[in-house]
Structure formats: structure tokens, C-alpha cells
């Protein structure tokens, strides 16, 4: 029975770590954003510049440890590494849940969103099985008898683990789990269907007795049920506290609002354009790749001249900085403002390019593999 438990723990933990590592490595920039949230919570924002590198490293480490466990390679070092890693993650998820500081741990990226308490429970389960593995590390037998074969397998695993994260960082996720993925209909993703459940809140009142000075807290339901409001001796003091008790329907895209420099809302006009239109996303305009912006500007000029293609630039920069940037780089496209959070979700690049038509994301590109104008023309603009 003990051997069966060890083997089950080995397979379960190994596979889960590999899956978790690959899912996050599929979007290392997104995982980097999540690490920045934790850095802010723990007042370690000086690490923000290293967030992506750390994200790629942690993802690769998960994959390597998971694979090494399945291979039975270096059992002592691997089980110690797994134990330290899961203790670290358990602390983070507990802290997030207990103090409500980071709403999603990003354990499985955007593929499987987990609440902090769900993440904490998952880490406790992992901790249990990893402790079993650590206690019984001598019983973990390697699949390969040859040390050379073991080392070769680890090297191949490491190259794949690091290579995958580096590739997706430079050329967009292999599988896009965000709501702006290719094929997504943005207007539909922003709608709330008729009759959809609304958020339910519980309001707590603090009541004080005018004569005795006694105080008590009471929910809005109790307040009405007991009809204490009819008793003139009780009065509400302070500000009632509102608490979300049941989450209602939430559209996939809930925070996108595109405005011009005067605050006019252009969201519907831009995303519902029935014709092909190019959307350049540069959430951090001052830190964007200038050469790529130049290439995108050329696409905008050619598209407008030959097919009347509308090109817009979306950024979170201030109107003053946008105008200065446009003048310095001689940009011809219109510019609009949007919050950095949805812009980071639109495309994991700065800048990135989306091709929209009638609200649908036809395609999207990282600035490192932008299409040529000829490719856009042949594959999209010339076609009905």
C-alpha cells in the first residue's frame, strides 16, 4: 500500500507540475504581470524589471522538477526542491486569500482561473503528496539505469522548458486563453444577456440605542425582518458596510472603454467597425519598440491609401504624451486612450497588432513577427 501511495504521489505531482508549468509558460508575460501584483503587495516593486525573467524561470523550474520526478532522477534534490516550492506557493496563496490582496494566483494562467482559497486548497493537497514523496524519497527509483541517459533527459527537458517560455514571450502564446483571442467576437463578449443574475450584496448596519448607548450590528435582511426600524430608540450610526455575497453574471470583457482625448467614448465605433481595421496596442507608449511602430505606421499608410483601412492606436499614455510621440515618429493613425489592464490582455506585446472586422478578431501579431503589407493585402484586404 505504501509503495502504491508513493507511485501515485509521484505521478500525480509530476504531471500536475508539468501541466502547471507549461500553462504558465504559454503566457510568461501574463504570469509576469501577476508577479508584479505580488511585488506590489510585499513592497518589492524594485523587482518589476525582472518579473518576466523570473516568470520564465519559475515555469521552467516547475516543468523540470515535474519531469525529473516522473523520471525518478535525483530524487533527494527533486523532492527538496518540490517541497520548498510548494511551501512558498502555499504561503502566497494563503496570504492572498486571507488578506484579499491578489484575486487570482495565476497558478494555471488564464486557462483555469482559480480563486485564492481554491489555489490554497490545491497547494495543501500538493503539499500532502510532496511530503509523502520526501519521506519516501529512497523508494523513488529512476527509469534510466544509465547516468548519462538521465542527464541527457534532464538537458532535453530543460531546453524545452526554457525554450517554450522564451518563444511564447517573443511570439505570443501558442494557445490564447484571453477574451481577445483570434475568432473572438468582442461586442458579444461585452454583452450581459437579458435576465442574467446580478451581483448580490449584504448590507450591515451599526445600530445604537439612544438611551442606553448599546450598539449592535445587523444585516439589511435582519433589519427589515425584525422591524427594528420602527423603534425610534434605535438609530443607524456610521456608514453601512456593503459586502458581496453572491457573484452575478460577468461578461468576458468588462473593462474595455476606448476614449479620445476629450473623454468621448469610441468603444462601439471602433470594435464594431464592419470593415477591416487595424488596431495597434501599445499600453506603455514610452517603452514601446520604436522600430515596430515605424513598421506599423507604414502598414497604416498603405492600408489607408489603397483600401481605406482605418488604423487606430490604443494606449494608456496621457493625451500630451501621445501627441508628442506621434509628432516625433510622424504617425498617421488616430489615437485613443484605454486602461492598461485590458490593453495588456488584448495582445501580449508592446506594441502588438490586431486585425478586426465587424467586431471579430481576425488575427493578431507580436511586433517581432508583424505581417508585411503584401501579406495583409493578399490574405485579407483583397478578399471579399
Beta carbons of 242 and 220 less than 8 angstroms apart = no
Beta carbons of 104 and 116 less than 8 angstroms apart = yes
Give me the phi and psi of 47, to 5 degrees please. -90, 0
Structure letter (DSSP) for residue 252: S
Tell me the residue range of the domain where 227 lies.
200-246
pLDDT in tens, 65-102: 999 999 998 889 999 999 999 998 888 888 888 877 77
Output the pTM of the full model. Answer: 0.85
The contacts of residue 340 (CB under 8 Å, 6+ apart) are 283, 284, 316
Do 374 and 225 belong together in one domain? no
The contacts of residue 60 (CB under 8 Å, 6+ apart) are 21, 25, 158, 161, 162, 165
| pLDDT value at residue 97 | 80
Do 207 and 348 belong together in one domain? no
Do 8 and 112 belong together in one domain? yes
Beta carbons of 323 and 301 less than 8 angstroms apart = no
| pLDDT value at residue 106 | 59
Is 179 a member of any domain?
no
| pLDDT value at residue 151 | 87
CATH assignment of the domain containing 352: 3.40.30.10
Do 146 and 39 belong together in one domain? yes
Do 82 and 213 belong together in one domain? no
pLDDT in tens, 350-378: 999 999 999 999 999 999 999 999 999 99
Structural domains of the chain, count: 3
Residues of the chain with pLDDT under 70: 1, 103-111, 384
| pLDDT value at residue 83 | 93
Beta carbons of 208 and 214 less than 8 angstroms apart = yes
Is 187 a member of any domain?
no
| pLDDT value at residue 95 | 83
Do 49 and 163 belong together in one domain? yes
Picking from 213, 246, 279, the residue at the C-terminal end of a domain is 246
Q: Which residues of 193-226 are buried (b: 16+ CB within 10 A; e: fewer)?
A: eeeeeeeeeeeebebeeeeeeeeeebeeeebeee
Give the DSSP letter string of 139-185: G---S-S-HHHHHHHHHHHHHHHHHHHHHHHHH--SS--STT-TT-B
| pLDDT value at residue 24 | 93
Do 242 and 271 belong together in one domain? no
d(CA 113, CA 99): 19
Picking from 183, 212, 246, the residue at the C-terminal end of a domain is 246
Do 224 and 146 belong together in one domain? no
Amino acid at each position: 500500500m505504501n509503495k502504491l501511495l508513493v507511485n501515485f504521489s509521484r505521478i500525480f505531482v509530476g504531471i500536475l507540475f508539468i501541466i502547471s508549468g507549461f500553462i504558465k509558460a504559454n503566457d510568461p508575460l501574463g504570469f509576469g504581470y501577476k508577479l508584479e501584483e505580488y511585488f506590489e503587495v510585499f513592497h518589492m516593486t524594485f523587482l518589476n524589471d525582472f518579473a518576466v525573467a523570473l516568470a520564465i524561470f519559475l515555469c521552467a523550474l516547475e516543468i523540470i522538477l515535474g519531469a525529473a520526478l516522473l523520471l525518478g532522477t535525483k530524487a533527494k534534490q527533486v523532492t527538496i526542491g518540490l517541497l520548498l516550492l510548494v511551501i512558498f506557493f502555499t504561503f502566497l496563496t494563503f496570504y492572498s486569500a486571507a488578506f484579499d490582496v491578489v484575486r487570482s494566483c495565476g497558478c494555471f494562467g488564464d486557462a483555469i482561473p482559480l480563486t485564492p482559497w481554491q489555489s490554497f486548497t490545491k497547494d495543501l493537497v500538493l503539499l500532502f503528496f510532496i511530503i509523502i514523496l520526501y519521506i519516501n524519497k529512497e523508494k523513488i527509483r529512476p527509469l534510466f539505469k544509465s547516468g548519462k541517459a538521465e542527464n541527457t533527459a534532464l538537458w532535453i527537458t530543460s531546453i524545452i522548458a526554457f525554450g517554450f517560455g522564451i518563444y511564447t514571450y517573443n511570439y505570443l502564446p501558442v494557445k490564447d486563453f484571453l477574451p481577445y483571442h483570434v475568432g473572438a467576437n468582442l461586442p458579444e463578449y461585452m454583452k450581459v444577456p437579458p435576465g442574467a443574475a446580478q451581483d448580490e450584496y449584504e448590507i450591515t448596519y451599526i445600530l445604537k440605542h439612544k438611551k442606553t448607548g448599546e450598539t449592535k450590528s445587523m444585516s439589511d435582511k435582519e433589519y427589515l425582518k425584525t422591524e427594528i426600524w420602527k423603534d425610534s430608540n434605535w438609530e443607524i450610526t456610521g456608514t453601512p458596510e456593503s459586502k458581496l455575497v453572491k457573484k452575478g453574471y460577468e461578461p468576458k470583457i468588462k473593462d474595455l472603454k476606448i476614449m479620445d482625448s476629450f473623454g468621448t467614448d469610441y468603444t462601439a465605433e471602433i470594435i464594431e467597425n464592419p470593415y477591416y481595421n487595424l488596431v495597434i496596442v501599445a499600453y506603455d507608449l514610452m517603452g514601446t519598440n520604436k522600430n515596430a511602430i515605424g513598421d506599423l505606421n507604414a502598414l497604416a499608410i498603405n492600408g489607408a491609401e489603397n483600401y481605406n483601412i482605418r488604423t487606430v492606436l490604443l494606449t494608456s499614455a496621457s493625451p500630451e504624451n501621445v501627441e508628442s510621440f506621434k509628432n516625433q515618429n510622424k504617425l498617421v493613425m488616430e489615437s485613443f486612450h484605454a486602461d492598461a489592464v485590458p490593453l495588456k490582455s488584448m495582445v501580449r506585446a508592446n506594441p502588438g497588432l490586431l486585425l478586426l472586422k465587424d467586431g471579430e478578431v481576425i488575427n493578431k501579431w507580436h511586433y517581432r513577427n508583424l505581417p508585411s503589407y503584401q501579406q495583409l493585402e493578399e490574405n485579407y484586404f483583397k478578399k471579399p
